Chain A
Amino acid sequence: MSVRVGEAAEAPDFRQAAHALLANKQVRANVRRATETIRNKRANVVGEMPDWEQLRDAGRAIKRRVMRNLDSHLEQFEAACTRAGGQVHWARDADEGNRIVTQIIQSHGQKEIIKVKTMTSDETQLNPHLEANGIIPWETDLADLIIQLGHDKPSHIVVPALHKNKTEIRTLFMEKMGLKELGTKPEDLTAAARAYLRERFLRVKVGYSGANFAVAETGSVCVVESEGNGRMCVTLPEIMITMVGIEKIVPSFDDLEVFLQLLPRSATGERMNPYNSIWTGVTPGDGPKEFHVILLDNGRTKVLADEESRETLHCIRCAACLNVCPVYRQTGGHAYGSIYSGPIGAILTPQLQSMEHSQSLPYASSLCGACYDVCPVKINIPEILIHLRTRIVENGDRGAAERIGMRMAAYTMSDAGRFSGAQKLVKIGAKPLESLGLPGWSASRDLPAIPKESFRDWWKKRQVEKNKA
């Protein structure tokens, strides 16, 4: 079995990637503007909800319920979807999922598909797989189209092209769409995308999507979107394929009443996103005649097995944690080397890969807690980051020097005599801390001089003087 999360296994570590990105002023300015815009919009529409905390608690409770009996919920989904005329497939990993998709497309003799934005297909790297098999995947979400045409990588979970500005997009569209003239406004660029995709929507016979939610009770699938490309892809083709992570199950149809409030407000700062499509199997006379669902594991059952970080699977991919993260704000998503960036990426990517790769990610956080505060399903991301750091240390994957240093420090810190002795060592000559060697610190920050007298020495002297008096 080979779990793959995009190209994360080959990505440079966070610090190296961040080094390059910090030098890119344009990208940093784009990221800052975009994240500030969404976080302000989110704050406004969350602020008008008197029951936001109750909704978060309900969202969390539903997800906990799902995870506790994930096996039976999946079987229930399969049965309901099948009853409604859908065909359910199971895929252990990315390759298996991709193979199933290809087989379905090829069995109908088709060479093209139209795709709704889905992170899961980026995770399995479906597009390169399809292309290698002679199938063209047309991305239809505007941002995904920008990424695809530019052979770029997504830098955000919800707005994957936020690192590009409109001038760059205009140049890209003119070149790739073969346009001699194109206006400069976002409206002009959007109109160009509409014209470019329209013909494909009406013609291509296979549609492909992920799912925001899959309802166990009814076998329904829900896709949340804004542009209408989702409705096009799930409605117009004759054959519809949906690949969904096994954690996206919700137990009952009515559970949507919670998530359809939490998700749009958290993701795009809207009261409701323009379109939601919910469908159940096949409906004669309306939409695709054939519907396939692929339930994808790709490392998720491994995440489920770790009780302390299981709630990583609660994520509904709203990306609110990215928009408030002060680290993401500086580097943008590409520093994370994964399609899942920001705080949630820092916990999800390494876990999906059984902690074999992306080990720098759990350290890519100051643990400021802003992510936990905005998470609509209350995933305690800082706590999980620390837990993953512990797993890395337990596996002996940190350097020996750090381990020995930490053990010595703990030994020192569990005894006042030893601690006080260490203090004395530190302040010999009362040099600045720099002399102790704190690599990286001093490039931008002066260190305080070490005081001549520690607090405990002062206190001792004071007590002696008091006793004399």
Chain B
Amino acid sequence: MLISLFVACYNDTLFPDTGKAVVTVLERLGHTVEFREAQTCCGQMHYNTGYRPEAIAVMKHFVETFRDAQIICVPSSSCVSMMREHYPKMAKDAGLETEIEELLPRVYEFSELLVDKFGITDVGASYPHTVTMHTSCHSIRSLHIGDKPERLLKAVQGLNLVKLPAADQCCGFGGTFAIKNAEVSSAMLDEKIKAITSTGASICTAGDNSCLMHIGGGLSRQDTGVTCIHLAEILAAREVSVQ
């Protein structure tokens, strides 16, 4: 199948390895990946901060870019949530209702694509580490992604998945919230870090690099020895255990 990757602006700029990992996994499964270079951003930062006309401009660009794409894969649940929750309403203002209505069913978050569309949980990865999963707010409460990421992780060879306590609690990122209310955001992060370190995992993963940038920044600052890595990068890995 031809899959069009919407990598997300911040992954493109800050976390290119995540995009590369998505390409690796999809090609390993026998699919063809295309990357439309006209793509930029979903508009979430603008929309959530109150800049609606600006967000609509960005949305229009997304629609133009992906209008004829058959399957769009997005390794970021918060971008997918932005599209599903807010595009329909924004589309009314922009006169794009039909386009959005037709486009949205073709947008898949990465783990949705694998589990729902392809019906696959074992993608042939091997990753001999103890891993805990941070379920981002958008993935659980907006996409209702359930246990899809966990099922994918459980099928990874050598991976020891440990449950994160209070997993449904927000990590405190929240986009511009992390800066506008930095102190509260950091206090929320402290709780998340305590939960993560209590699991004994050496790796914390998620389907959103936005949360992971925030969590990873705290884990690194507190010198916990735990590192963050996007789910796609684990699924792309073929590490062999050194014994």
Contacts and interface: CB of A to CB of B under 8 A. Distances in A.
Interface of A: 14-15, 18-19, 22, 326-327, 330-331, 362-370, 372-373, 383, 386, 388-394, 398, 403, 406-407, 409-416, 419, 423, 426-427, 433, 438-441, 443-448, 450-451, 453-456, 458-460
A11 B142 CA distance: 33
A412 B40 CA distance: 9
A386 B60 CA distance: 20
B37 A368 contact: no
Contacts of A448: 14-15, 213, 216-217
29 contacts: A15-B181, A15-B184, A18-B183, A327-B188, A364-B181, A365-B177, A367-B137, A368-B170, A369-B137, A369-B141, A370-B137, A383-B85, A386-B48, A390-B50, A390-B52, A393-B52, A410-B54, A410-B55, A410-B58, A413-B43, A439-B179, A440-B182, A441-B182, A444-B217, A444-B218, A445-B217, A446-B221, A448-B217, A459-B19
Given A18-B184, A410-B46, A445 B177 contact: no
Nearest to A363: B180
A419 B184 CA distance: 31
B130 interface: no
Given A366-B137, A389-B50, 4 more contacts: A327-B188, A369-B138, A369-B141, A414-B40
A104 B188 CA distance: 49
A385 B217 CA distance: 27
Given A413-B40, A414-B60, A454 B216 contact: no
B141 A370 contact: yes
Interface stretch (B4-12, B113-121, B199-207): B4-12
B16 A454 contact: yes
B228 to A, nearest CB: 10
A98 B14 CA distance: 57
Contact of B58 (A403, A414, A455, A458): A414
User: A-side binding surface: helix, strand, loop or mixed?
Assistant: helix
A400 to B, nearest CB: 13
Given A445-B214, A451-B14, A455-B16, A407 B54 contact: yes
B181 A363 contact: yes
Contacts of B214: 445
A33 B174 CA distance: 24
Nearest to B43: A413
A423 B181 contact: no
Given A416-B39, A455-B12, A330 B184 contact: yes
Given A414-B40, A455-B11, A456-B12, A445 B189 contact: yes
A330 B188 contact: yes
B61 A413 contact: yes
A455 B50 contact: no
Given A368-B174, A426-B13, A458-B16, A409 B37 contact: no
B13 A423 contact: yes
A366 B177 contact: yes
A394 to B, nearest CB: 8
Given A363-B177, A414-B40, A406 B54 contact: yes
Nearest to A28: B187
Interface residues of B, number: 67
A326 B179 contact: no
Contacts of B184: 15, 18, 22, 327, 330-331, 364
B175 interface: yes
Interface string B38-50: 1111010111111
B185 interface: yes
Contacts of A365: 174, 177
Interface centre among A383, A438, A451 (most CB of B within 10 A): A451
Interface of B: 7, 9, 11-17, 19-20, 35, 37-41, 43, 45-52, 54-55, 57-58, 60-61, 85-86, 137-138, 141-142, 168-170, 172-190, 213-214, 216-218, 220-221
Contacts of A416: 37-40
Given A18-B183, A330-B188, A370 B16 contact: no
Given A18-B184, A441-B179, A369 B142 contact: yes
Contacts, number: 198
Ranked 6 nearest A-B pairs via Cβ: A366-B174, A440-B182, A389-B50, A445-B217, A410-B54, A368-B170
B7 A455 contact: yes
Contacts of A455: 7, 11-13, 16, 19-20, 35
A443 B217 CA distance: 10
B172 A366 contact: yes
Contact of A326 (B39, B169, B218): B169
A418 to B, nearest CB: 8
Nearest to A330: B187
B221 A444 contact: yes
Contacts of A388: 50
Nearest to A440: B182
A455 B16 CA distance: 4
Contacts of B178: 366, 440-441
A439 B176 CA distance: 11
Choose among A419, A439, A453 the residue with the greatest number of B CB atoms under 10 Å from its CB: A419
Contacts of B176: 363
Contacts of B38: 416
B50 A386 contact: yes
B63 to A, nearest CB: 11
Contacts of A330: 184, 187-188
Nearest to B189: A444
A389 B17 CA distance: 34
B73 to A, nearest CB: 13
Nearest to A418: B40
A14 B229 CA distance: 33
Nearest to B223: A446
Contacts of A366: 137, 170, 172-175, 177-178, 185, 188
Contacts of B61: 413-415
B17, B55, B183, most chain A CB atoms within 10 A: B183
Given A370-B141, A454-B12, A15 B50 contact: no
B174 A367 contact: yes
A411 B54 CA distance: 8
A423 B51 CA distance: 22
A373 B169 CA distance: 13
Contacts of A393: 49-52
Contacts of A326: 169-170, 172, 188
